[in-house]
Every structure is written in structure tokens, then in C-alpha cells.
Homo-oligomer: A and B are copies of this chain.
Amino acid sequence: MKKKSIAIDMDGVLADTEVQYLNYYEQQFGTRLTKEIFHNVAEAEALPDGSIYKFLFTPGFFRTIPVMDGAVDAVKTLQQDYDIYIVSAAMEFPLSLFEKKEWLEEHFPFIQWNNIIFCGNKSIIDTDYMIDDYCKNLDFCKGKPILFSAGHNASITHHVRVNNWKEVETLFAEERSLARQ
């Protein structure tokens, strides 16, 4: 039987972008802010002086983002039962394309190159599930949308929410158990 497919986002889902923003901000301004600063604020406006956009266009930013806690083990587990596609809206930052590919090779070497998609928007992606931190991707996705918690999406209530990769594993354990019934 053909495995079901899951599209998994990179920034804010596999990659802990918020921590990377805080790292860059501390490096530049000497102040360590906390993740609360992202709560219920549009991502691009969470830090003062347009810092977020400056960081996003800084070479090396995407290459060195810390991996989200638990992501590697969870994706490895999911890969046993699902076709995993990494789908990243990378096209706005063309310099990031190569960095993102290298980042995936370093941290997720078990993801084959033919399962990686870099796109502008995700409207023509057709998988059975999509894990993402943005409604712009989830609201119109063709499969089952799963919202990965991030500061900017704290008030969203119309999607199934997972707060971390442990919860992703639990959710898919339930999906598999339902499928067997």
C-alpha cells in the first residue's frame, strides 16, 4: 500500500528560527531577549528596527539555525510509516536556497534530495498532511493541516495545533492507530 505523505515546513518547524533571531539580536545588540517577544506579533515585526529582515538577508543565517528540539528523532520515526517531504517557502530569499539544502544535509541526512521542495508558496503542494506554522500555507492545503506552535500564531484556533515534536509524534501515533481500526 502506498504510504501517506507529510509535507513538513523548515523555518519555525524543523528549524528554531525564533532562537536564531534571538542569537543574532544578542550578537548585534548585546541584549538577550526571550521568546515571549514573538508572542502574538507578526514575525517580521517582532524585533525592533527591522532587525528580522536584516537577519533573514544575512549570509549564514539559514545555515546555522538550531534544530527544533526533538525534530530529528520524530522525523526519523515518521519516515518509517510516511513519505516525508520537506517543503520550504525559500524563494523569497534566494541566497538561502543553498544554505537550506546544506542545513538539511547536515541535520537530516536521511531525507533524500528528491523529497525536498523549495517553493514560493505552497498552494500546488498535494500531500496527505501538512505541518506548518503559517495559516497562509495551511488554510488552503489539500491534505490535513497541522499547526506547529510559534509566537506569531499563538491566537490561531482553527487548526489542529501541536506545541512541539513530541506532540507531533503522539498525533501521528493516534492517526496510525485509527487507520488500523
Q: A-side interface residues toward B, CB under 8 Å?
A: 5, 7, 85, 89, 91-92, 94-95, 97-98, 101-102, 112-121, 124-127, 142
Give the interface SS of chain A, mostly helix, strand, loop or mixed: mixed
Assembly stoichiometry (copies): 2
Jot down 22 A-B pairs with beta carbons below 8 A, ordered by A. Answer: A85-B124, A89-B114, A91-B101, A91-B114, A91-B117, A91-B118, A94-B97, A94-B98, A94-B101, A94-B102, A94-B113, A95-B98, A97-B118, A113-B120, A114-B119, A114-B121, A117-B119, A117-B120, A118-B119, A119-B119, A124-B125, A126-B126
> Which single residue of chain B is at the shortest CB-CB distance from A5?
B124
Distance between Cα atoms of A92 and B91 in the complex (Å): 17
Contacts of A97 in B (CB 8 A): 94, 97-98, 101, 118
Contacts of A142 in B (CB 8 A): 126
> Which single residue of chain B is at the shortest CB-CB distance from A127?
B124
Q: Are A116 and B120 in contact (CB under 8 A)?
A: yes
Q: Are B116 and A7 in contact (CB under 8 A)?
A: no
> Which single residue of chain B is at the shortest CB-CB distance from A128?
B124
Distance between Cα atoms of A115 and B121 in the complex (Å): 7
Contacts of A94 in B (CB 8 A): 97-98, 101-102, 113
- CB proximity of A85 to chain B, nearest CB, Å: 6
- CB proximity of A106 to chain B, nearest CB, Å: 13
Contacts of A102 in B (CB 8 A): 94
- CB proximity of A121 to chain B, nearest CB, Å: 4
Q: Which of B85, B118, B124 sits near A118, CB closer than 8 Å?
A: B118
Contacts of A98 in B (CB 8 A): 94-95, 97-98
